[in-house]
A and B are shown apart, each in its own frame.
Chain A
Amino acid sequence: MTGGPVGIVANPASGKDIRRLVARASVFDNQEKAAIVARAFVGAIAAGATSFRYLPDRYGIVAQAIPDAGVDADVAPVDSPDTDSALDTIRAAAQFRDLGCAVVLTLGGDGTNRAVARGWRDAPLVAISTGTNNVFPRMIEGTVAGAAAGLVASGAIALAEVARPAKLVTVTVDGERDDLALVDAVLVDERFLGARAIWDASRLRVAVLTRAEPASVGVSAIGGLLRPLGERDPGGLALDFGSGGVLVDAPIAPGLYQTVPVRRVRPLAEGEPVVVEGPGVLALDGERERVLKQGQRAILSVVPDGPRVVDVRQTLHVAACRGLFRAAPEGRDGD
């Protein structure tokens, strides 16, 4: 049985952007995140985890929860460049890999998990959603997510039994493969990163999706309502926006439907390149990330070897079948 520490990243910035204003998203406050981490600690320890490494965030989300890990747990921070940006998460993920973490527990949205994947491409992930319109992480109770992480970390259940690699979109700009998206990479007709989120469908130009889920919110939902593609189906989906095709009513942000003109929907084979050209802004997993100048090209393609995502339900199911949580009978002799 090979285990390792649980890595923890809790993004203090998730769940606070402009979509609370332009759509109907809720504020995800940091105290709630700290409470989730506390519950995850308890769950993980109940499941046998003993060692934890975490990204020290500026708001002390994890630090506040440490007392809940109890005095016996080995909990220590990794080094952080303390930029209060995604860079901190990217660096932490790389350290988790080097430290031999068995699993990484994330609290955040698509963007948080994307940053982990940038630091550790195939990180083993238990992803709890504390963001806005998240497709990648799940809404799941922290106690249970912690227990799943603990089962993997203690080595009681092998990662390969309960995790599958997620797809991702690789982003190559000027010949350099320098970014990725877990759900969607979208060219939008913008010049600036501004308030980061995207909430105006008329600005969408081209999207490349790893998954097109009709039961989600965001660009993935647009694809999903036209041509569903599951997280486990091979390949991806490309959408060209604009008139001359179909109109679809899709929730592009929480509580916000817009009618989106989609000119073309085409399936993508694994690795098939989609070339987009500036001017515009590349939005990755829902956030404007990178300005493309006039004529500047980006190549987007869907590949299968992203983070290994732990299926929390399945992990606990396996644990139940194996009786992993059965307490030793207490003083019952002659039974």
Chain B
Amino acid sequence: MDVDRNVLLDLHRRMVRIRVFEEEAGKLMEAARVPGALHLYVGEEAVAAGVMANLTDDDQITSTHRGHGHLVAKGGDFKRMYAELFGRATGYNKGKGGSMHVCDMEIGMLGANGIVGAGPPIAIGAAFSDRYRGTSNVAVTFFGDGASNEGGVHEAANIAALWKLPGLFVCEYNGYGEFTPPARHQAIRDVADRAAGYGMPGVVVDGMDVIAVYEATREAVARARRGDGPTLLECKTYRFYDHVGIRGMGVSYRTDDEVLQWRKRDPVALLEAHLADAQILSSDDARAVHDEVRAEALAAVAFAESSPFPEPHELLEDVYDTSLPAPDEAPR
């Protein structure tokens, strides 16, 4: 059960990277320096970090509309991520996808996704392929409490359990689907209760405690790699900011008190307290990690903002994986 010192430091760094990336991204959106809408992951860092620390670059994940944290935790590069948010040619998706589709296929990040609940069916395809190709890789899908009510999620879970696919279903239960709490989305409260119905183990963990997430994932991933099938891992967490952008306090759909209560369990602060207690990382050293990551983020933002926009010809490229002409000509 014990977690190695290096793993703890790694978990910390992954969480800080997400936190800092998102804080800076949020500022960019508020200042209208980046176009479009950002769904920030602040408050939920322990989930992505705790899961991803158990994966290799060959393991795949599918993500959600709230996907920056997943990519950062999987090892995403700040420069290409910010450049994508800015819609620049240097971005991960050449500026064509933006925040809601940011991906890095090379490290197994099969994309953020604008369609709620779209990830799990794709993930079981990756899990199938992992086994089909004879690898020992696993595929992990993240989905929200809101997404848990999409039909495709149930279909994917059923197939995964039926075929004992090497997968992991991670439900990020953050208490809201946009502006509606689960109490008005589903008659049950723990999505993990459904696991028995799919025929897989279901576990609830404290999603603010990265060590708890890490331990549970370690077991679930080991189970999947052994060929024993998928697991439903539900992480109880909270988004500190709004559904889109930063605000999130003084809103109509949740109380400030609720936010403050959850903020007392800030996952980054919780881990830092543990690490200080265990004399693994002093608060000064933790601060240094934040500072270092922030400097990296700011440099990446500068890189992104000074990068060129995609050239017009890019508009019609990448629709097909071929050099044949598209069925239609240039825009009119």
Q: Chain A: residues with CB nearer than 8 A to chain B?
A: 12-13, 16-18, 20-22, 26-27, 29-31, 58-59, 188-196, 198-200, 203, 291, 293
Are the CB atoms of B274 and A192 closer together than 8 Å? yes
Q: Does B52 contact A (CB under 8 A)?
A: no
Q: A21 with B223: in contact, given A26-B196, A59-B189 (CB under 8 Å)?
A: yes
Q: Is B3 an interface residue (CB 8 A)?
A: yes
A27 surroundings in chain B (CB, below 8 A): 192-193, 195-196, 201-202
Please measure, in the bound complex, the distance between the C-alpha atom of A233 and the C-alpha atom of B204, giving whole angstroms.
36
Number of interface residues of B (CB under 8 A): 30
Whole-angstrom distance between the Cβ of B216 and the nearest chain A Cβ? 5
Complex CA distance for A27 and B195, rounded to whole angstroms: 8
Q: State the CA gap A27–B192 with chains docked (Å).
A: 8
Report whether B189 and A12 are in contact in the complex, using a CB–CB cutoff of 8 Å: yes
Q: For the complex, what is the distance from the CA of A16 to the CA of B231, rounded to whole Å?
A: 13
Residues of B within 8 A of A (CB): 1-3, 187-190, 192-193, 195-196, 201-205, 209, 211-212, 214-216, 219-220, 223, 231, 233, 274, 277-278
What's the minimum C-beta distance from A258 to chain B, rounded to whole angstroms?
12
- Which of A29, A58, A195 sits near B196, CB closer than 8 Å? A29
Q: Are A16 and B204 in contact, with the CB atoms below 8 A?
A: yes
B204: nearest residue on chain A (CB-CB)? A16
The distance in angstroms between the C-alpha atoms of A26 and B212, with both chains bound, is 19
Known: A195-B205, A293-B277. A18 touches B196 (CB 8 A): no
Chain B residues with CB below 8 A from A58, complex form: 189
Q: Are A17 and B203 neighbours in the complex by a CB distance under 8 Å?
A: yes
Chain A residue at smallest Cβ distance from B271: A192
- Cβ–Cβ contact A29 & B223, under 8 A: no
Q: How far does the alpha carbon of A291 sit from the alpha carbon of B279 in the complex, in Å?
A: 13
Chain B residue numbers with a CB within 8 Å of A188 are 1
Cross-chain contact A194 with B1 (CB below 8 angstroms): yes
Pick 16 A–B contacts, CB within 8 A, sort by A. Answer: A18-B205, A18-B216, A18-B219, A20-B202, A21-B201, A22-B219, A29-B196, A30-B189, A190-B1, A191-B274, A191-B278, A192-B3, A193-B212, A194-B212, A195-B211, A195-B212
* Cβ contact within 8 Å between A20 and B3: no
- The reply to whether B3 and A194 contact each other, CB–CB distance below 8 Å, is yes
Contact of A203 with B1 at beta-carbon distance under 8 Å, contacts A31-B188, A191-B278, A196-B212 already known = yes
CA of A194 to CA of B214, assembled, Å: 8
Please indicate the chain A residues that have their CB under 8 angstroms from the CB of B188 in the complex: 29-31
**A200 with B192: in contact, given A17-B204, A20-B202, A193-B209 (CB under 8 Å)?**
no
Known: A29-B190, A58-B189, A293-B277. A194 touches B215 (CB 8 A): yes
CB distance from B269 to the nearest CB of A (A): 15
B residues in contact with A59, CB < 8 Å: 189-190
Residue of B188, B215, B223, B233 contacting most chain A CB atoms (<10 Å): B215
- Among candidates B201, B216, B223, B277, residue contacting A291 with C-beta atoms closer than 8 Å: B277
Q: Say which residue of A16, A198, A203 sits within 8 Å of B190 (CB atoms).
A: A16
Residue among A193, A200, A203 with most chain B CB within 10 A? A193
Q: Kindly identify which residue among B216, B274, B278 contacts A21, using a CB–CB cutoff of 8 Å.
A: B216
Closest chain B residue, CB of each to CB of A203: B1
CB-CB nearest in chain A for B280? A191
CB neighbours (8 Å) of B277 from chain A are: 291, 293
Chain B residue nearest to A199 (CB atoms) is B1
Query: Chain A's nearest CB lies how many Å from the CB of B4?
Result: 10
Residues of A within 8 A of B202 (CB): 16, 20, 27
Complex contact A31–B193 (CB within 8 A)? yes
Are the CB atoms of A21 and B193 closer together than 8 Å? no
Inter-chain contacts of A13 with B (CB < 8 A): 204
* In the complex, residue of chain B having the shortest beta-carbon distance to the beta carbon of A61: B189
Tell which of B3, B189, B196, B211 has the most Cβ of chain A within 10 Å: B189
Contacts of B219 in A (CB 8 A): 18, 21-22
Could you tell me the distance between the alpha carbons of A16 and B187 in the complex, rounded to whole angstroms?
A: 17
Inside 8 A of A16's CB, which chain B residues have their CB? 190, 192-193, 202-204
A-B interface, 10 closest residue pairs, ranked by CB to CB distance from nearest: A29-B193, A16-B204, A195-B215, A194-B211, A59-B189, A20-B201, A195-B212, A194-B215, A27-B202, A192-B211
Flag if B195 contacts A203 (CB, 8 Å): no
Is the pair A20, B2 in contact by a Cβ cutoff of 8 Å? no
CA distance A27 to B194 in the complex (A): 9
Q: Which residues of A contact B187 (CB under 8 A)?
A: 31
Contact residues in B for A200 (Cβ distance below 8 Å) = 1
Distance in angstroms from A12 CB to nearest chain B CB is: 7
Known: A17-B204, A27-B196. 19 other contacts (CB 8 A): A16-B192, A20-B201, A21-B203, A21-B216, A21-B219, A22-B219, A27-B195, A30-B189, A58-B189, A188-B1, A191-B274, A192-B211, A193-B209, A194-B1, A194-B3, A194-B209, A194-B211, A194-B214, A199-B1
Closest residue of chain A to B220 (Cβ to Cβ) is A21
Contacts of B196 in A (CB 8 A): 26-27, 29
